Amino acid sequence: MERQRRIIWYKPWHPYAFILLAIVGLFIFRLGPMAFAFVMSFTRWDLLTSPEWIGITNYLELFTTGDFWVVVKNTFVFALVYVPGGLLVGLLLALLINVKVKGIGFFRALFFSPLVTSAVAIGMVWNWILSPQYGIFNYLLEVIFHVEGISWLGNSATALIAIAAIFVWKEAGFYMIIYLAGLQNIPVNLYEASATDGASKFQKLRWITLPLLTPTTFFALVISLFRMLRHFELIYAMTRGGPGIASTTLPYSIYQNAFIFYRIGYASAIAYVLVLLVGVVTLINFYYKRYWVKYQY
């Protein structure tokens, strides 16, 4: 009787009731703003007056402005430093801490801590470290390597690379956790069998660890393309996009045009160009993953 009563009370719409708030939140805080920004990309709007419909003028201005292509190039340079750098450093850290020794939890927390630290605080600290006058980095270069220090953030040739490298340092703990989970899912018997056959540590890494980590690497690669869009705070805290526009990337350009120049429509157009670029690169990754991702031997 109790079982029948439980079945009678069940309705097909009950599961949907539990996820209703999540669906409403998705439409209000995610899909809604995305649709609104897409419409705004065809308007001229300064937040003070009513939006004026101008068609594709914002997009035409984007593709005919030289500064925009410099910003696109900066974004690709940033990605070329951050994406492989973050994955490589994260993998090395995961290999380093994938051991069962006393106190290893402390080092895992230590490597992970930059990720949960305020980006603005990190930017302020690194501004001091890279300072051309009293920064410790230039001091060490002069003392150890007898190399004259430079203005890392004030030089258009080094500002963007320096910020990308700092972002790698900040985010490496995130990829470390991902790779650590992948390492701990590799069957131990594969290493035991290879040790019986006389395989060295390098051979185990080359023929067992790295191939079986390719699904993890693919996941981290896709995630890194989206996390790359979060570097706005560091640029804001360290260079404000300068010198000139040498360290201005698409995410920072969106902020700059929207909340400094009050060109909401133009900023929305930049945002959708950025979405298109990330989407194309992601689709390319999914297409080519069949050639290098191995799920089993």
According to the model, what pLDDT value does residue 1 have? 47
Of these ranges, 145-154, 224-233, 250-259, the one predicted with the greatest mean pLDDT is 250-259
According to the model, what pLDDT value does residue 5 have? 53
Q: What is the chain's mean pLDDT, rounded?
A: 90
**Are the CB atoms for 141 and 149 separated by under 8 Å?**
yes
Tell me the pLDDT band of 128, cut-offs 50, 70 and 90. Answer: very high
According to the model, what pLDDT value does residue 297 have? 61
Give the integer Cα–Cα distance in Å for 133 and 5. 78
Percent of the chain whose predicted confidence (pLDDT) is above 90: 69
pLDDT of residue 295 exceeding 70: yes
**Are the CB atoms for 125 and 135 separated by under 8 Å?**
no
Which two tokens mark 90? 């994260």
Which helix (H) or strand (E) element contains residue 52?
A: strand 52-53
> Quick one: average pLDDT of 111-134?
91
**Are the CB atoms for 156 and 178 separated by under 8 Å?**
no
pLDDT in tens, 78-97: 999 999 999 999 999 999 99
Global pTM reads 0.88
Contacts of 265 (CB under 8 A, 6+ apart): 40, 41, 42, 43, 44, 45, 51, 54, 58
Tell me the pLDDT band of 3, cut-offs 50, 70 and 90. Answer: low
**Are the CB atoms for 85 and 164 separated by under 8 Å?**
yes
Say which DSSP state 208 is in: I
pLDDT in tens, 67-77: 999 999 999 99
Give the integer Cα–Cα distance in Å for 44 and 47. 10
If you compute the radius of gyration of the chain from its CA atoms, what whole number of angstroms results? 24
Which two tokens mark 123? 């930017």
**Are the CB atoms for 172 and 90 separated by under 8 Å?**
yes
Contacts of 61 (CB under 8 A, 6+ apart): 266
- Report phi then psi at 52, rounded to 5: -115, 125
Contacts of 26 (CB under 8 A, 6+ apart): none
pLDDT in tens, 28-50: 998 999 999 999 999 999 988 99
> Quick one: average pLDDT of 176-186?
93
pLDDT in tens, 237-270: 999 998 999 999 999 999 999 999 999 999 999 9
pLDDT of residue 7 exceeding 60: no
Cα of 263 vs its chain's centroid, Å: 26
**Amino acid (one-letter) located at 255:** Y
Tell me the pLDDT band of 8, cut-offs 50, 70 and 90. Answer: low
According to the model, what pLDDT value does residue 6 have? 53
According to the model, what pLDDT value does residue 150 have? 86
